[in-house]
Amino acid sequence: MEKEFYGCVMCGKGVQNANKVSFSKRRTKTIRRPNLHTHHLIVDGTRIKIKVCTTCKRSMRVTDREIQAKAGAVKAAAMALAAK
Report mean pLDDT in 10-residue bins for the chain, 84 residues.
Answer: 78 92 97 91 85 87 74 67 67
Distance CA 36, CA 10 (A): 11
Q: Is residue 30 part of a domain?
A: yes
Q: Assign residue 32 the CATH number of its domain.
A: 2.30.170
Per-residue confidence (pLDDT) for residue 43, from 0 to 100: 81
Distance CA 55, CA 36 (A): 9
User: What's the number of domains the chain is made of?
Assistant: 1
Per-residue confidence (pLDDT) for residue 4, from 0 to 100: 74
Per-residue confidence (pLDDT) for residue 84, from 0 to 100: 63
Q: Is residue 3 part of a domain?
A: no
Distance CA 22, CA 20 (A): 7
